[in-house]
């Protein structure tokens, strides 16, 4: 593919502070000579206004420095944000961040939905229709939460597929795969418990079917479904229980495990896509190695050991 020409923005359009500074020595100063602005004497005296402006410009950096002196997180942040990623990193690698973003959307919209929702069997449906029909933008926030749930489930599966097909679950990242599977289960738990909360016909019967599927596990199944329902029948405490699991228990676990997940991603680094070739050192290999296992020509050392 031919290289596309880079677009050159004329200097006149760019305001002076954003202009690329000239290379040293490019402005008629002979090589080896210091640039002209270094040769001049003391800089012009600053006015009071200039000094205040300078201080204002430095203020954010000063505040950060104040915090960093006491907390010392800059080294960690620099290491995390400027870490190296392998060659060939592509858009598939954004699926994890996309899942995280979907989770953040769920968390934020969920907080605001909780301000209007009533987890009571007799009032839940009315509070949801109040959100959808009367609260300004309520239908939008509820819709974001409802459809965002599906988006999160889809994204987490795509992310899992990417990890699987790129072989990114292999040593030393097995633990991160295990944490990811737990996160998948927790996400499904969120989807299951959240489905009951509107307490309409669909969610009521879907939860009954879901709980009964849980009950078909041998020996422990009947007790598990009693635990989920808080009794032998789906009742008022079932809704309260699902609500507590949905907004208190599981989100905390998900946040904690996302922390562990991302710590391991930063610590271990990401994998290169399976189709990238390992870089060979640029020194000549011994002739004996080149010949071993290579048919005919010794010019392709990469294919040598695979034959």
Give the residue from 220, 241, 221, 218 showing the smallest Cα distance to 229.
Answer: 241
219 binds another protein (CB under 8 A): yes
Distance CA 166, CA 160 (A): 10
Could you say which of 93, 103, 195, 204 contacts another protein (CB under 8 A)?
204
Site string for another protein, 106-135 (x = CB under 8 A): ---------------xx-------------
Task: Please state the closest distance from residue 125 (CB atom) to another protein, in A.
Answer: 9
**176 — phi, psi (to 5°)?**
-70, -35
Q: Measured at the alpha carbon of residue 75, what is the angle toward residues 71 and 78, in degrees to the nearest 5?
A: 125
Indicate the residue among 173 and 229 with the shorter CB distance to another protein. Answer: 229
- Kindly identify the residues of this chain, within the stretch 48-77, that bind another protein according to CB under 8 A: none
Interface stretch with another protein, choices 38-46, 71-79, 166-174, 197-205 (CB under 8 A): 197-205
213 binds another protein (CB under 8 A): yes
DSSP string, 91-131: GGGGHHHHHHHHHHHHHHHHHHHHTT----TTTHHHHHHHH
- Kindly identify the residues of this chain, within the stretch 130-189, that bind another protein according to CB under 8 A: none
What is the chain's alpha carbon radius of gyration, rounded to the nearest angstrom?
30
Distance CA 194, CA 162 (A): 27
232 binds another protein (CB under 8 A): yes
231 binds another protein (CB under 8 A): yes
Q: Which residues bind another protein (CB under 8 A)?
A: 121-122, 199, 204-205, 208-209, 211-213, 215-216, 218-219, 221-223, 225-227, 229-237, 241
């Amino acid at each position: 593919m031919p290289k596309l020409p880079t677009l050159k923005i004329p200097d006149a359009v760019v305001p002076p502070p954003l202009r690329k500074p000239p290379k040293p020595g490019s402005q008629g100063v002979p090589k080896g000579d210091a640039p002209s602005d270094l040769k001049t004497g003391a800089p012009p005296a600053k006015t009071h206004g200039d000094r205040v402006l300078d201080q204002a410009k430095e203020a954010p950096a000063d505040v950060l420095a104040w915090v960093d002196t006491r907390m010392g997180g800059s080294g960690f942040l620099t290491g995390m944000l400027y870490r190296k990623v392998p060659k060939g990193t592509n858009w598939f690698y954004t699926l994890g961040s996309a899942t995280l973003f979907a989770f953040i959307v769920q968390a934020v919209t969920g907080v605001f939905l909780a301000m209007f929702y009533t987890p009571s069997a007799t009032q839940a449906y009315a509070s949801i229709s109040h959100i959808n029909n009367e609260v300004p933008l309520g239908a939008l926030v509820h819709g974001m939460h409802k459809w965002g749930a599906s988006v999160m489930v889809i994204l987490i599966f795509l992310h899992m597929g990417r990890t699987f097909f790129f072989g990114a679950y292999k040593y030393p990242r097995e633990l991160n795969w295990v944490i990811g599977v737990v996160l998948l289960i927790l996400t499904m738990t969120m989807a299951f418990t959240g489905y009951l909360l509107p307490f309409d016909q669909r969610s009521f019967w879907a939860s009954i079917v879901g709980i009964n599927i849980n009950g078909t596990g041998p020996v422990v199944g009947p007790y598990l479904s009693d635990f989920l329902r808080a009794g032998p029948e789906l009742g008022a405490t079932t809704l309260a229980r699902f609500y507590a699991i949905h907004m208190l228990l599981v989100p905390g676990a998900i946040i904690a495990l996302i922390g562990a997940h991302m710590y391991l991603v930063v610590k271990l680094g990401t994998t290169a896509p399976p189709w990238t070739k390992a870089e060979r050192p640029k020194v000549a290999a011994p002739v004996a190695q080149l010949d071993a296992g290579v048919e005919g020509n010794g010019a392709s050392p990469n294919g040598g050991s695979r034959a």
